[in-house]
Amino acid sequence: MNLHAVYHRQKSNYAYAYGKDCLHIRLRTAKDDCTRVNIVIGQKHRWEEKESRPMKKIASDHLFDYYQYEVYEKILRLGYYFELSDGEEDYIYSESGFTKTYDDENAYFHYFQFPYLNEADILKVPSWVRETVFYEIFVERFCNGDKENNTKELTPWTEAPGPHSFYGGDLKGILEKIDYLSELGINGIYLTPIFTSPSNHKYDTVDYREIDPMFGDKETLCELVKKAHEKGIRIILDGVFNHSSWYFPPFLDVVKKGEASKYKDWFYINSYPVKKYREEEVNDYSRPLNLSGLNYHVFATSPNMPKLNTENKELRKYLLDSVAYWMKETRIDGWRLDVSDEVSHDFWKEFRKVVKEINPEALIIGENWHNAYPWLRGDEFDGVMNYPFTKTAIQFFTTGEKSAKDLAADLSEYFMWNYEQADAAMLNLLESHDTMGFLRWCGEDERKFRMALLLLFSYPGMPCLYYGSEIGLTGDGDPDCRRTFDWNEKNWNQELLLFCKNLISLRKSKKTLACGDLRITAGEDLFYLERRHLNERIITILNNTKKEVHYAIPEGGTVLLTTGELKNEHIIPAFCGVMMEVK
C-alpha cells in the first residue's frame, strides 16, 4: 500500500459541514491502491458506541482516489479514524499516523475530530445557484439603446474593435433586449463594470457612486433590474476594488499634494512626487511601457490603474459603503469581484458580512484563475470564475494536449478542491472578455464548440455563456474578443442558437443536472460524465476523436440532446457528444 499518498486534514475540504446536520468527510489514497476503505466514527463522549462504515469512492484524478462519507447527526462532536486495505495489508490511519491496531483506551489522543458543527461556519451559498444559467455582457458592446448619451466619438457598430474603441452600448440597450435574453432562457446576467470610468471596459473606476454617463444612470439600472426580476433573471455587477483609475479624485489629490495628501495611505506610494506617465505612453500598445521609474503600485503593468490599499480604514469604509449603496438602491443580486486574489482576505471577510447582511441570497463570485480554496471556506466568496475548467476544455477540445482520460482526471481533481457548496456556485465558462473566443480556439469547428457547450452544461456549477456565443460571435484575444453583438438576425447561426436554447432548457428543467451527484470516467476514446439524483441519471458522452466509436446505451436510456446526427443508437460519430437520460 502506498502510504505516502494517503491524506486527510480536519476542518478543511476533507472534513467540512455541508449543512447544519450534515458533515462530509473525505480521504485520499493512491489511485487504484485500496480495495476497502472504512471510517470508524463515533461521538467523542460516547466512543464505546463507535461504528465502522464503508466510504464511497467519489472521484479519481491522475494520481489519487477520493473517498467520502456523509454524516447525518443532530449533534456533531465526532472522533474518527480510517481502516485501509489493499487486499494484502491492513492499516489504521489516525491523527497519530499509521498503525496496525487502534488504542481505544486512549482514543482521544489519536482520533481525528470534528469538535462541533457551528452553523456560522457553514459555507452558505444562495439557494438559486444550482438552477441558474449566467450570461456575461460586456456592456459597451451589447446594444446601443440611448443615442443621446454618446459623449465620445463612436466607431461604426460593425467594425472590428481596437483597444480604445467606443461603440455606445449601454444599460438601456440591455433593457431593450431583455426579451431576447428571456427567450434564450438564461436567468442570470453578469455585467462588466458600469461605474464612471474613462475607458471602454470600465475596469478603471473614477467614481464608485455614479454610473458612467455613457451607460446611463441609477434610474436606468433600477429599471433594468426590476424588468429582469419580473422575467426571473438575476443581475450581478462587477466590482473593481483592487485598483482604481488614475483619475480617481483621491489619487489625483495624492498626485497634486504628495505626502501632504490625506489620501496618501489609500494607495501604495513608494516615493514622492508620484510619477506621471503621458497618456500617449500608456495607450501605446505597440511596445512595452518603460516602468523603471514607476514609484507606486498598480494593477499588472498599468500606471493608469493605481492599486488600492484596502487595509486603510477610510478607504475600506468608502468602498463598502458604496457596495451597500448599490445593493440597497437597485436591488442587484450580487457581485463579481475583479482581481480578487490580489486583495486581502481580511477585506473580503468584511465585504461578505456587508453583502450578506443586506441580502443573504446575494451571490459573491471572485475572479481567481487558479485553485481558490482559501477564498471558498465560508467567510469570503461563494464561488469563483472557473478558469481551470476553461483551461482544460481548451486543451481537450482544441489543442489536443489532453485525452479523454486527462479530461476526466482534471475535472475530478477540480471538483475535489472545494466544498461541494462552492462547486455548485462556481461560474463555469468557456470564454470571457479576457480570453480568445472558444469557437476561435476550435478553429471555427462548430462540432467541437457544441461538445464543449454540452460539457459546460453537464458539469456542476453555474454555466455562463459569453454574449453572442450563442449566435456564433467569436474573436481573437483582447480587444477582438470584445466585438459588438450583431443584431442582424440574417447573420446569426440559427442552428447554434437553437442548440443553445435546448441546452439551457434542459439544464433548467432537469433537476439531476442541477443537483445530481457527479461521477466521471473515460476510456481510450470516450469521456463519460454522469449526474445522478434519486432514481434518475443523466449521462453525457463525448467523442472528441476523428473516428466513429461504438458505445452501449444503458437500459432505459433516452437521448435528450446530441451535438450532431447519430447514425444509430450504438455509434457516436467523430467529434460528437450525446446527453441521455436513464430512469
Non-local CB neighbours of 70 within 8 Å, separated by 6+ positions: 18, 22, 23, 24, 25
Helix axes 218-230, 313-330, angle to 10 degrees: 50
State the catalytic residue, choosing from 338, 413, 431, 525. Answer: 338
- Tell me the C-alpha distance between 259 and 89, whole Å: 69
Decide: 439 and 397 in contact? Cβ < 8 Å: no
Helix (H) or strand (E) holding 408: helix 404-416
Active site residue 204: no
Question: What SS3 class is residue 218?
Answer: helix
- Tell me the C-alpha distance between 229 and 328, whole Å: 15
Rg (CA), the chain: 26
Q: Which of 363, 417, 419 is nearest to 125 (CA)?
A: 363
Question: What SS3 class is residue 345?
Answer: helix
| Edge-to-edge order in the sheet of strand 526-533 | 517-522, 526-533, 536-543, 576-582, 557-562
Task: Classify strands 298-299 and 302-306 as parallel, antiparallel or unpaired.
Answer: antiparallel
State the catalytic residue, choosing from 83, 140, 367, 382. Answer: 367
* Phi and psi based region of residue 444 (left: phi greater than 0; alpha: psi -120 to 50; beta: remaining): left
End-to-end CA gap in the chain: 38
- Locate 159 and state its grid cell: 467594425
Active site residue 338: yes
Task: Classify strands 363-366 and 383-386 as parallel, antiparallel or unpaired.
Answer: parallel
Q: Which of 310, 312, 323, 311 is nearest to 355 (CA)?
A: 323
Q: Is 222 exposed, middle or buried (0-12, 13-18, 19+ CB in 10 A)?
A: middle
User: Which residues carry out catalysis?
Assistant: 338, 367
